[in-house]
Amino acid sequence: MKPIMTHPFEHLAPGPYRFVGLLESDEVSLALNKNGLDGIEEGGCIGSCDHCYSAITIGVMFKGSDGKKFKVGETCAKKAFEPGVPVLSEMKKACNARRLNLKKEKEATKFNACIQWLNDRTDLNDLPHPKGFNGLSLGDYFQWYREQAGRAKFIEICKEQGFK
Ligand SMILES: [Zn+2]
C-alpha cells in the first residue's frame, strides 16, 4: 500500500492553502493584526518559521482551509508546494518583490551614510582627482559620480576612497 502523502504544513492547518501575503517588519505585521489576522506574536516581531522554527527575514503567510493563518520562511514555503502550482508562483513573486525592496532600502541607507561621510570631510577640494584630471579635485570626482552614476556605483566609489 502506498503511504498517504500529507502536506508538510498539515500540522499547522489543513490544506488546501491560500497565500495571504508577506510579513516582514513591525509595520507589516501591525497592519495584518489590524486586519484581524491571527497567528502573529505580539509586538509584531517577524520571529521564526512556524514549520521549522528557524529565524526568518521574510515571513510567508498562508491560510488553511479552516481559515487558520500561519507564517513560514521562504525556503519552507518553496519546498512545500509542487512546482507550477499557483500558490507557489504567487508567493515567489511577492518574495522577489520584497527582496528587491529590502535591497533598495539597504542601498538608500548606505547612500545617505555616504553623503554624510562626504559632508563631514573638509579636505575634498584640496586633494587631487583620483584619475589625475588637471585642475579637478577629489571633491569633483565624488560630485561627478553622485550626479552621473547610480547609487550602487556611488557607494562603491566612496568605499574605494575609504568609506566604511
Ligand atoms: Zn521553516
What are 89-131's pLDDT values in tens digits? 999 999 999 889 888 988 999 999 999 999 999 999 999 999 9
Predicted local distance difference test score (pLDDT) of residue 101: 87
pLDDT on residue 81: 94
Residue 31, pLDDT > 60, answer no
Return the percent helix, strand and coil in the chain, to nearest 5.
45, 10, 45
Residue 45 has pLDDT above 90, yes or no: no
Separation between Cα atoms, residue 7 and residue 73, nearest integer Å: 16
The pTM assigned to this predicted structure is 0.70
Confidence of residue 33 (pLDDT cuts 50, 70, 90): low
Query: Picking from 16-25, 125-134, 145-154, which range would have the lowest pLDDT averaged per residue?
Result: 16-25
Q: What is the pLDDT of residue 25?
A: 59
Question: Could you tell me which of 20, 18, 23 has the C-alpha nearest to residue 64?
Answer: 18
- List the Cα angle 29/30/36 in 5-degree steps: 90
pLDDT of residue 3 exceeding 90, the answer is: no
Separation of 60 CA from ligand 1 center, angstroms?
10
- 55 CA to centre of ligand 1 in angstroms: 8
Q: 102 CA to middle of ligand 1, Å? A: 20
Whole-number pLDDT of residue 102: 83
Expressed in angstroms and rounded, the spacing between residue 74 Cα and the centre of ligand 1 is 7
What is the dihedral angle through the alpha carbons of 150, 153, 155, 159, rounded to the nearest 10 degrees? -170
Instruction: Summarize the confidence of residues 68-93 as an average pLDDT.
Output: 94
CA angle 19, 21, 23 (to 5 degrees): 130
| Cα 13 from chain centroid (whole Å) | 27
Residue 27 pLDDT more than 50?
no
